Amino acid sequence: MIKRLFLICGAEALLALLMASIPMAVNNTFVLGLLTLLTIYAILLIGLGITVGYLGQINLAQAAFLGLGAYSAALGVTTFGCGMLPALMIATAVGCLFGGVLAFPALRLEGPQFALSTLSFMALTATTLNEWESLTGGAQGMSVPRPPIFGLMLNAKGFYWLCLILLGLVWVAMRNLLSSQWGRAFEALRDSPIATDAMGIGTHRHKAAAFILGSGIGGLAGGLYAFNFQFLQPQIFIYDLMVILLLGVVLGGRKSLWGAFVGAAIVVLLPNLLSNRLLFQIFSGTGFVFALIAGARGLLAKSTRPFQALAPVVAMGLLVFGGMFVDNTEDWRKAIFALMLFSVVVGLPDGLMGFAARLLTRLFRIIPAPFPAASDLESVLVCRQPTSEPILSVRELTRHFGGVRAVDGISLSVRSGSVHGLIGPNGSGKSTLVNVISGLYAPNSGEMLLHGVPLPRGSLFQVARRGIARTFQNLQIFTELSTLDNVMVAMKGIIRSPLPLVLLGLTGKSERRVQADGLALLELVGLADQSRIPAKDLPHGAQRFLEIARALARRPQLLILDEPAAGLAHPDVIKLLGIIRRIRQCGITILLIEHHMEVVSDLCDIVTVLDGGRIIAEGRPEEIKRHPKVIEAYLGARHVQSAGEPVAAAPELMPV
Amino acid sequence: MNGSVIAQLVVSGSLMGLVYALIAYGFQLTYATSKSINFGQGELVMVSAFICLTMTNLGISYWFMVPLGLMCGALLGLFVERAGVRLALEQKNEGWILLTIIIGLFFFSAAENIWGRDDRPFPTPISSEALQVAGIRITPLELSVALGVFAIMGIIELFKRKTLLGKAFEAVAADRDAAELMGISATKTIMLSYSLSGVVAAVAGLLVSPITTVGPTMASALVLKAFSVAVVAGLDSGFGVVLIGLFLGSLESLTSYYVGSGWREAPGLILLILALAVRPTGVFGKIPIKKV
């Protein structure tokens, strides 16, 4: 524990100390310029890392936010006579503002569409900065005096220290944020937006928050950029810069503050590297050898695909080989960037720091921080006395898909504290019904009431916030998060941590409580000993149990289990029965969709049978098994006549 | 406002719009089979134009150079698929966005150094002397652009509908897993779509370079607007790109005349952001049903 804290915080403190003391030891304006630029780029890349690393979206607009921040800080000084700090605040605010404007359309977008909208925003910004000559001076550029701070004029050294202090603040704030529930929420929505909404976390608000934050940081970096160079031209903030920024983020490593710093260092040093042939040859040669060793090891261990091992070797080889024949390496700057980026993206997806972090963790045997003791399950689930009043009533609900009436006028009432089974052959509308209730689809008509109050229609997020939690037939776990984090993130809407406190790092207590509660739920489903494993590495059955634990973290009044036994081995089915009974003891109402007849007859107080989008029978499990319409729906009409004794045969024949 | 000026602007704008539509069509081809597009498509247009120019300079006649140029386009498309797309698709992540940008960057830098940074004229046998049609000036060269765009799109659509290979293409586009189960190799079909997309890029290069001249940056503006067209129309919309291309092309030339030539990129960019905000699947795109 102490070793861990000492190593991690110690490394950060050492870096800060080193960075702060260099200007005192080395009196060289060139070095000082590089260092200043390094801090500015590090701030910028930390901002970009939020969208690229945590949201997992390719954001091509960060260069534009740098430009917008730079110009607005400059205008703040030239037109309004702002001091340094107000101007930087303006730059940050403008970054946030435009980030918000762009986040609105970009919210609903994924992958290529997101990349395209940010690309367009960048091009639009460049056009505007270039054409709005009365404001920006157009292509001629504008010069910016460096304003005083607290009435004090800063020299180059002073300005560098200011940049360094700001980098430190941004670094600490981001570390606090990204290791909190917010960081988990960002990663969760990357892995499954649907589950993020269904867990009441809210996809849109977190996506917007992440993007606005990243843009604001970009704006701040822009303000510093303006005061560093004291001259701005629109041509600076275009495609080329964006490529360099991507290089920095990808090369340094996503999801890592150290990665942003290393990336910034490479970006700043690269031009000098390219202009010196010897340095370039050493650099590319090292890269080539590195790619060769990593590739060969990967191939021998069969842990990488041949392409993944060979392509970086070819690319780095081309770099070394090309470097010998080309007259002027600087002319080939972009191609060199491209080859380096290519090798890293293909061969080292976690970047240099991702690789280094794994290595260092092994080398120093850093043990992760221990978890607190698990909470008492009763306190986590907030047990209630069942009232046997209806908790959920559904009246005349319909949902069509084109001409298909998937749910065709269903009325249903779920008693509080009961386990209500929902069965029916494939395509009978079970899943559509719960998808409508839980808000994935809006109903075409009908009423849904929870405790007599209408439920929101067509919003997973709002339904979740009303106290309904669900699992998914096709698993929607947050694959990259650990098992415990999957459960913890679902508590984000329950145990709140306000953003300002998070940024200041003052939420340790609620964080420990969330951990303890999460562990209690993992104990319930028998996964407590696997809490640190990435959820994607759990076996299928364990992932189903994890979904149940995650849904319970919402402290639901009504829990919808969508085929929880699908694909489970027999011992796991037995385990599932035990878990559901335990949940029920806490007074949580359960709506259970299931194919396994043994599960249904063991657990359910009442069973509703659907066929063709309508209810064909309802009653206690033993009544349902004898119901002629049910037997007909499952086995066909022919069996009904000869069904003097179908009761015994039917359960086994129910499709599984 | 002068009616004939507007008509002239609309006609010449929409001819450029057809080129955007053609490049956008190239995006659609690959999106259909693999849900990926080549962010470096503009560089493919530019490199194939340079290769065609080099062949012409070597004395190869125009009509013999055309098929060779198209073949180069297909090979470049295949290279992009192999180096930039396949791994990401196998790993089911979106690494292809970054990788295709990177490959485009490499092509750009290579072109800059091999062929130089200057814009060069592109010889063509088609006359550029203006004809007067109903008071509007239009050159045979411009007409050839329209003709070429429709010809290549028509041929590829016919291929997709009438041949067995084309039907395999459509099958993978409709449902990749089902097609694989029927013995159609999705990987090969995606290779096919990338090579077709490369051919389309080469055609675009051949058609547009006599008008715009050939240079490393010739396609960077083109491709931005092709993105707009593809997204506004919807990445799976078939001929919707033609309509949106015509619309955007004329809108742009009107903007350029009435607002200022520096702003000519703006309408496309704004349209793209707006379209994504209002209807992310595009005007003609299908809205998928979420399934869980």
- Chain A positions touching B231 (Cβ under 8 A) are 113, 116
Chain B stretch 214-253, residues whose beta carbon is closer than 8 A to a beta carbon of chain A: 220, 224, 227-228, 231, 235
**Which of B103, B105, B236 to substitute to test the interface with A, most A CBs within 10 Å?**
B105
A397, β-bridge pairs: A410
Whether the CB-CB separation of A194 and B292 falls below 8 Å is answered with: yes
pLDDT at A637: 64
Three-point CA angle B279, B283, B286, nearest 5° = 80
Give all domains of chain B, ordered by start, each with its CATH number: 3-278 (1.10.3470)
Can you say whether the dihedral through the CA atoms of B13, B19, B20, B22 is positive or negative? Answer: positive
Domains (ranges, CATH) in chain A? Answer: 38-237 (no CATH), 383-480+553-653 (3.40.50.300)
Give the percent of chain A with pLDDT over 90.
Answer: 37
pLDDT tens for residues A482-527? 999 999 999 988 888 888 888 888 888 888 889 999 999 999 999 9
- pLDDT above 70: residue A638: no
Report the pLDDT value the prediction gives residue A650, as an integer from 0 to 100.
42
Lowest mean pLDDT among A217-231, A276-290, B258-272: B258-272
Quote the CA–CA distance of B7 and A497 in Å, as a whole number.
Answer: 61
Q: Which residues are A414's β-sheet partners?
A: A392
Query: What are the angstrom distances between the C-alpha of A136 and each of A72, A122, A140, A224?
Result: 10, 16, 9, 17
Q: Which tens digit of pLDDT belongs to each residue from A269-322?
A: 888 888 888 888 888 898 899 888 888 888 888 777 888 888 889 999 998 888
Contacts for A606-610: CB closer than 8 Å, 24+ residues apart:
A606/A415, A606/A418, A606/A420, A606/A421, A607/A420, A607/A421, A607/A422, A607/A423, A608/A412, A608/A420, A608/A421, A608/A422, A608/A423, A609/A423, A609/A424, A609/A633, A610/A410, A610/A422, A610/A423, A610/A424, A610/A428, A610/A429, A610/A430, A610/A433
The answer to whether the beta carbons of residues B260 and B271 sit under 8 Å apart is no
For residue A562, give how far its alpha carbon lies from the nearest alpha carbon of chain B (Å).
10
Phi, psi of B58 (to 5 degrees): -80, 0
Tell me which residue in A123, A431, A435 faces B224 most closely, judged by beta carbons.
A123
pLDDT at A397: 92
Of A331, A334, A401, the CB nearest to B289: A401
Q: What is the mean pLDDT of residues A120-142?
A: 86
- pLDDT at residue A645, as a whole number: 44
For the segment A50-76, the average pLDDT, to the nearest whole number, is 90
Ranges of H-type helices in chain B = 3-34, 41-57, 62-80, 86-90, 95-115, 140-162, 164-174, 176-181, 186-212, 220-233, 240-258, 266-278
Interface of B with A in 105-164 (CB under 8 A): 105-106, 108-110, 112-113
- With 50 as the cut, is the pLDDT of residue A8 above it? yes
- With a cut of 90, say whether residue A97 has pLDDT above it: yes
Enumerate the residues of chain B whose CB falls inside 8 A of the CB of residue A476: 292
pLDDT at A648: 41
Residue of B97, B109, B113 lying closest to A115 (CB–CB): B97
pLDDT tens digit sequence for B11-30: 888 888 999 999 999 999 99
Angle between helices A628-635 and A646-653 (to 10 degrees): 40
Residues of chain A contacting residue B112, judged by C-beta atoms under 8 Å apart: 331, 334
pLDDT band at A649 (very low <50, low <70, confident <90, very high): very low
Phi, psi dihedrals of residue A383, rounded to the nearest 5°: -65, 140
Tokens standing for residue B4: 């004939």
Residue A228 has pLDDT above 80, yes or no: yes
Task: State whether residue A423 is helix, strand or coil.
Answer: strand
Contacting B residues, span 22-51, partner chain A, CB-CB under 8 Å: 36-37, 39
A384-422 residue pLDDT tens: 777 778 899 999 999 998 888 899 999 999 998 899 999
Q: Report the pLDDT averaged over residues A170-179.
A: 91
Task: Tell me the per-residue pLDDT of A339-369, one tens digit each, with 9 for 90 and over.
Answer: 888 988 888 878 888 888 888 878 877 777 7
d(CA B165, CA B227): 28
Q: Is the pLDDT of residue A92 over 90?
A: yes
Decide if pLDDT at B102 tops 80. yes
Mean pLDDT of A248-263: 87
Distance from CA of B217 to the nearest CA of A (A): 12
A-chain residues within 8 Å CB-CB of B87?
A: 305, 307-308, 311, 346
The ipTM, to two decimals, is 0.88
Q: What is the mean pLDDT of chain A?
A: 86
CB contact under 8 A, A121 and B273: yes
What is the distance between the alpha carbons of residues A565 and A547, in angstroms, rounded to a whole number?
12
pLDDT at position A290 is 87
Taking alpha carbons only, the member of A528, A474, A459 closest to residue A202 is A459
| Six-digit token string for B184 | 């159609």
Instruction: Name which of B36, B102, B277 is nearest A338 (Cβ-Cβ).
Output: B102
Mean pLDDT within B167-172: 87
pLDDT at A34 over 80: yes
Query: Once rounded to an integer, what is the mean pLDDT over residues A162-168?
Result: 94
Which chain B residues are within 8 Å of A464, Cβ to Cβ?
none
Q: Do A127 and B98 touch (CB under 8 A)?
A: no
Identify the weakest region by mean pLDDT among A225-239, A379-393, A537-551: A379-393
A120 contacts on B by Cβ (under 8 Å): 224, 227-228, 268-269, 272-273
Rounded mean pLDDT, A167-179: 92
Residues of A within 8 A of B236 (CB-CB) are none
B19/chain A closest Cα distance in angstroms: 19
Question: Is the predicted pLDDT of residue A651 greater than 70, yes or no?
Answer: no
Report which of A362, A363, A356 is spatially closest to residue A253, judged by C-alpha positions.
A356
First to last CA, chain A: 49
What pTM, to 2 d.p., does this model score? 0.87
pLDDT at B48 (0 to 100): 94
What are phi and psi for residue A247, nearest 5 degrees? -55, -45
Cβ–Cβ contacts within 10 Å for residue A328, how many? 11
Smallest Cβ–Cβ distance between B276 and the set A113, A127, A476 belongs to A113
Return mean pLDDT, chain B: 87
Indicate if the pLDDT at residue B146 is higher than 70.
yes
